[in-house]
Structure 1
Amino acid sequence: MHRLAVPCSLAGGVVLVASASAGRDRVGAAVFVMGAVLMFSASSLVHLRRWSIPTWEVLFRIDHGAIFVLIAASATPIGLSALDGRSATLLLWAVWIGAAVGVGVRVLPFHPPKGLMNTLFIVLGWVPIVVAPDLIRALSLTELLLVVAEGLLYSGGALMLGARWPDPSPEVFGYHEVWHTLVTIAVALHFVVVGLLVAG
């Protein structure tokens, strides 16, 4: 699924960036698109074939690092196009510092405790709550509902991945594919959100 999402993200990203006005809107859209393409590409690569264990370890760490980058990249157009002043600065610094910490943890030469990475993904994904009052004022109802829906999809997917449930058909469409599906839908929803932001 994520292999198909790579060209879709590229094509949608070109349209999104081209439709954004020059300046903050275009920068925010471009950062999000690059984050989405990076995450889908990293995921596609790690699942492309059966790698040797050392190679898989490296690719798996890159895959997790790319998720942190996507989370921060998703918040960037909101910070640049919807917010301003202190709330925009706070959001952008918080998510990118959080992403840097997450990537740093993942590249360290040890295996994090079980559940730590999913916990970090969820916590970083909900960092925008720190500017919730400003977000409620800045976003339209449609944009706000879409952002909340994304958060629930990401968080629910991370919890399902950690629990390895539901696992409807392990050989064909198991819990990991459920996770990938929810992530893909969430990213697609954010394309809509960013499109609405840069069009407004």
Structure 2
Amino acid sequence: MATKQNPSKVDEFTERLRDSVDEMKPKLRGWLHAATAPLALISFLVLLVLTDSTVARAGAAIFMFSALLLFTVSAVYHTVKWGEGVKQVLRRLDHSNIFVMIAGSYTPFSLLLLEPRQAT
């Protein structure tokens, strides 16, 4: 088997593949997310002005926090060329924040539209 006889070829192929993926990384993604992060904060301020209940404000705060976290971490990850260790940590955070954003965008609806017993 080629991989057991010569693992260096597999390592070389893996490294070349990783470099190719890095080259294909979208160039504007980080900058678009950097521009979107302040919009998350502005949307929170608008929602604070428009809401009249504490529960709605709590939902807006949860949404704002999740959106701000998602866009800020993504901007940091995608705009700078990081070393391999930092890059792996930021990639995990970036991908994990997708789930945080899903929960953060669903929570306001849960708080406002579901019966209190169902919302928790």
Same fold (TM over 0.5): yes
User: In the alignment, residue 17 of structure 1 is paired with which amino acid?
Assistant: L
Give the Cα–Cα distance (whole angstroms) in 1 for the partners of residues 50 and 116 of structure 2.
25
The answer for the alignment partner of 2:43 in structure 1 is 12
Instruction: Report the alpha carbon displacement of residue 77 of structure 1 after superposing the two structures with TM.
Output: 0.4
TM-score (norm 1): 0.42
Query: Could you state the TM-score of these two structures normalised by the residue count of structure 2?
Result: 0.69
Q: Which residue number corresponds to residue 82 of structure 2? A: 51
Which of structures 1 and 2 has the bigger CA Rg? 2
Structure 2 spans left out of the alignment, 5+ residues: 1-31
Residue range with higher mean Cα deviation, 67-76 or 12-21: 12-21
- Match of 1:36? 67
Question: Deviation per CA, 1:79-128, whole angstroms, max 9, x where unpaired?
Answer: 11111134323xxxxxxxxxxxxxxxxxxxxxxxxxxxxxxxxxxxxxxx
Whole-Å separation in 1 of the counterparts to 2:89 and 2:43: 29
Q: State the secondary structure of the residue aligned to 1:47.
A: helix
Quote the residue 1:119 is aligned against. Answer: none
CA RMSD of aligned residues (A): 1.3
Q: Percent identity?
A: 38
Structure with a larger share of its residues in helix: 2
Q: Distance in 2 between matches of 1:57 and 1:49?
A: 13
Residue in 2 that maps onto 1:24: 55
Count of residue pairs the alignment pairs up: 89
Partners in 1 of 2:49 and 2:61 — Cα distance?
9
Deviation at 1:51, TM superposition (A): 0.6
Which residue of structure 2 lines up, in the alignment, with residue 82 of structure 1? 113
Equivalent position of 1:67 in the other structure: 98
Provide, for residues 166-193 of structure 1, a one-character-per-residue CA deviation record: whole Å limited to 9, x for no partner.
xxxxxxxxxxxxxxxxxxxxxxxxxxxx
Cα drift, residue 49 of structure 1: 1.3
Give 1:29 deviation, angstroms.
Answer: 1.0
Structure 1 gaps of 5+ residues are 90-200
What secondary structure is seen at the aligned counterpart in 1 of 2:79?
Answer: coil
Q: 1:134-173 alignment to 2 at 5 Å?
A: none
CA distance in 1, matches of 2:117, 2:43: 31
In the TM superposition, residue 47 of structure 1 has moved relative to its aligned partner by 0.3
Moved over 6 A (4+): none
